């Protein structure tokens, strides 16, 4: 029973609970569900090492700052005191497309996204609102 409880503690945050996406922007929907408003999945499972993750919220939390060193609030990403080379829009898009940090080094996050340019822009606008 103890093992079951421990498993639940780790798995519950990984699960994406369904909410009414009609009230959400496309960017928020992508962040919280891993799908855009048209229902297209953003995770490229064939290219990803970590297959259990289905959305950004799983690791980054509801407000994007679950873990200090991986906050994806754009106010943190673009802060020169937190990143030697602060992220801008194009560096954020490069991160999603090429798995590269703002300084150009390989991120190796284990999760690869297949996301259209318009979906990337919507996601970034949502991150800027956090």
- Predicted confidence (pLDDT) per residue in 60-83, tens digit: 999 999 876 779 999 999 999 999
pLDDT at position 70: 78
Number of domains forming the structure of the chain? 1
Please give the mean pLDDT across all residues of the chain: 85
pTM score: 0.79
> What range defines the domain where residue 78 resides?
2-129
pLDDT at position 124: 97
CA dihedral sign, ordered 56, 59, 63, 69:
negative
């Amino acid at each position: 029973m103890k093992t079951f409880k421990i498993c639940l503690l780790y798995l519950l945050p990984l699960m994406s609970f369904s909410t009414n996406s009609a009230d959400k922007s496309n960017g928020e929907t992508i962040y919280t569900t891993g799908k855009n408003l048209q229902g297209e999945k953003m995770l490229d499972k064939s290219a990803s090492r970590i297959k259990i993750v289905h959305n950004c919220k799983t690791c980054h939390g509801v407000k994007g700052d679950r873990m200090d060193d991986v906050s994806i609030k754009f106010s943190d990403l673009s802060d020169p005191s937190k990143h030697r080379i602060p992220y801008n829009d194009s560096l954020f898009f490069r991160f999603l497309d090429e798995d590269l940090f703002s300084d150009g080094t390989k991120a190796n996050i284990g999760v690869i996204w297949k996301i259209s340019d318009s979906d990337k822009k919507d996601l970034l606008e949502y991150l800027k609102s956090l």
